[in-house]
C-alpha cells in the first residue's frame, strides 16, 4: 500500500504536510530538513522542486526558489540527495513542482527515479487533467506514484467531482484564490467554501493549503478537512533559523500540540 493511502487510512484528521524548497537555504540542506520535519511530528513531507518562474507562489517561496537555483540545485541534484533517504525517513514524501523542469528531465525518467528513491506522490499544479489522463496516468500508476490535483473556491462542483474521480492521493484545497503565503486568520468566506466541499462527501481525503501558518489556522482548517499543508510560514522559519533542526522541530510542535 502506498504510504499516503496508509497514512489516511490510519489518521483521518489533523494530518500535517510540510512543504520546503529543495536546496534552500543551502544546497545540501535537503536531508537535514527532512529529518527534522519527521522528528517534529509532521505526517507528510513535500519537497518543492525549484523553478525560475513559480507563478502560483508568493514572495517567500519565490525567494527560496531563486536562492536554491543560485545554490546550484537541479532535479538531478535533488535525486542524488534523496538516494538513500528511506533509510532515515519513514513518512510519506511527495514532490511538488511545475511541469517544465520535469518534462526537460523526461517524465518517464522522472517517475522511474521517484520510485527508485522512494517518493510516494506528485503535486504538479500546472498539469492539465486531460493531459494527465491521456499521457501520464498510466505512467504514474506504473511507478506507484499517487497524483494530487488542486481545487480552489472558484472550482465548480462538477469540476471538483471530476478531480475527486481522477485523484489517487489526496485533494489539495487551495484556501483562497491567491498566491501562496502566510495570512492572518481564516475568513468567513473561506469557511463557507470549506463547508461546501466537506458537504460533498468526496472519496479522497482533503488537505487545506495557502495561508495556514500557526496552530490556530491549522486547527481551524482541520475542522473542515483531513488536515493542512504549510509552506510559506515554514520557509520563513527555515530562513530565520540559527539552528535548523531545533527550530524546525519547535515550529512543528507548536502547530500540533
pLDDT in tens, 12-67: 899 999 999 999 999 999 999 999 999 999 999 999 999 987 666 778 899 999 99
Pick the closest to residue 118 from 149, 147, 76, 79 (CA basis). 79
Pick the closest to residue 54 from 232, 174, 179 (CA basis). 179
Q: pTM of the prediction? A: 0.94
User: Which residue shows C-alpha cell 499543508?
Assistant: 229
Do 252 and 242 contact (CB within 8 A), yes or no?
no
Question: Which residues participate in catalysis according to the annotation?
Answer: 46, 57
Q: How confident is the model at residue 164 (pLDDT cuts 50, 70, 90)?
A: very high
Give residue 1's pLDDT: 84
Pick the closest to residue 180 from 159, 150, 158, 202 (CA basis). 150
* 87 burial via Cβ count (<10 Å: 0-12, 13-18, 19+): exposed
Amino acid at each position: 500500500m502506498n504510504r499516503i493511502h496508509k497514512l489516511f487510512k490510519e489518521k483521518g484528521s489533523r494530518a500535517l504536510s510540510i512543504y520546503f524548497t529543495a536546496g534552500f537555504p543551502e544546497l545540501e540542506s535537503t536531508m537535514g530538513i527532512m529529518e527534522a520535519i519527521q522528528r517534529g511530528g509532521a505526517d507528510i513531507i513535500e519537497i518543492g522542486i525549484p523553478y525560475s518562474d513559480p507563478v502560483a507562489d508568493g514572495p517567500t517561496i519565490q525567494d527560496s526558489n531563486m536562492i536554491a537555483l543560485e545554490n546550484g540545485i537541479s532535479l538531478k541534484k535533488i535525486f542524488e540527495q534523496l538516494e538513500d533517504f528511506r533509510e532515515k525517513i519513514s513518512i510519506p514524501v511527495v514532490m511538488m513542482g511545475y511541469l517544465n523542469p520535469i518534462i526537460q528531465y523526461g517524465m518517464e525518467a522522472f517517475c522511474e527515479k521517484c520510485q527508485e528513491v522512494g517518493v510516494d506522490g506528485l503535486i504538479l499544479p500546472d498539469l492539465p487533467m486531460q493531459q494527465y489522463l491521456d499521457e501520464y496516468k498510466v505512467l504514474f500508476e506504473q511507478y506507484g506514484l499517487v497524483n494530487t490535483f488542486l481545487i480552489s473556491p472558484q472550482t465548480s462542483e462538477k469540476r471538483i467531482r471530476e478531480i475527486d474521480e481522477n485523484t489517487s492521493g489526496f485533494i489539495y484545497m487551495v484556501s483562497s484564490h491567491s498566491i501562496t503565503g502566510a495570512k492572518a486568520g481564516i475568513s468567513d468566506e473561506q469557511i463557507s467554501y470549506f463547508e461546501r466541499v466537506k458537504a460533498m462527501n468526496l472519496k479522497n481525503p482533503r488537505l487545506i493549503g495557502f495561508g495556514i501558518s500557526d496552530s490556530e489556522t491549522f486547527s481551524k482548517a482541520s475542522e473542515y478537512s483531513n488536515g493542512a499543508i504549510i509552506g510559506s510560514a515554514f520557509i520563513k522559519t527555515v530562513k530565520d533559523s540559527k539552528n535548523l533542526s531545533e527550530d524546525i522541530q519547535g515550529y512543528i510542535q507548536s502547530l500540533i500540540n
